[in-house]
Amino acid sequence: MERTLIIVKPDAVQRGLTGEIIKRFEQRGLKIVGMKLLQVSRELAEKHYDVHRERPFFTSLVEYITSAPVVAVALEGSDAIVAARSTIGATNPSEAAAGTIRGDYALEIGRNLVHGSDSVENGEIEVANFFTEAELCGGWTRDVDGWVFE
């Protein structure tokens, strides 16, 4: 099973889209193993987006992600990384397919509502950056698992 970190970003929380966004991952079959509302610190934001440190949008990206509370969600599932990113849609919402979260609810790249980890390795790292082991319910058995995972 893979793990991915989803962040319902400040714009999504402010717009009242938290439930709608989490619903889409849940109905896809991905299993919630951690979830919390938090205000991201500058330190955590810079660590999370470290790969983009040299990009021209880095400062505005850190301001954006720290500007209001977010909901961090750790999801587990077979192919969780690719599945979650296909549900999220293309980084630039103007290019995101209809039916994806960004394609249905967003217009601009700097207000694209949701984050999803981009690799199995980063999924593990990002979940550990946002959650302590005690905050995760890693081993819980979901009664429908046999009807979602073969």
Would you name the residues annotated as active-site residues? 115
Eight-state DSSP code of residue 112: -
Q: Which stretch binds ligand IDP (CB under 6 A): 21-29, 31-39, 104-112, 128-136?
A: 104-112
Query: 91 touches which of Mg ion, ligand IDP, none (CB within 5 to 8 A by kind)?
Result: ligand IDP
How far apart CA 26 and CA 32 sit, in angstroms, is 7
How far apart CA 31 and CA 27 sit, in angstroms, is 9
Q: Rank residues 18 and 122 by Cβ distance to ligand IDP and give the closer one.
A: 122
Contact present, 28 and 87 (Cβ < 8 Å): yes
Q: Rank residues 77 and 123 by Cβ distance to Mg ion and give the closer one.
A: 123
Question: Collapsing DSSP states into helix, strand and coil, what is residue 107?
Answer: coil
* Sole residue written with tokens 């893979």: 2
Is residue 61 involved in binding ligand IDP (CB under 6 A)?
A: yes
How far apart CA 125 and CA 144 sit, in angstroms, is 28
Q: Which stretch binds ligand IDP (CB under 6 A): 21-29, 39-47, 67-75, 105-113?
A: 105-113
Is residue 118 involved in binding ligand IDP (CB under 6 A)?
A: yes
Q: Rank residues 17 and 114 by Cβ distance to Mg ion and give the closer one.
A: 114
Question: Collapsing DSSP states into helix, strand and coil, what is residue 75?
Answer: strand
Q: Is 96 exposed, middle or buried (0-12, 13-18, 19+ CB in 10 A)?
A: buried
The site string for ligand IDP over 72-91 (x = CB under 6 A, - otherwise) reads: -------------------x
Q: Which stretch binds ligand IDP (CB under 6 A): 15-23, 36-44, 76-84, 106-114?
A: 106-114
The residues that touch ligand IDP, with contacts defined as CB under 6 A, are 52, 57, 61, 91, 109-110, 112, 115, 118
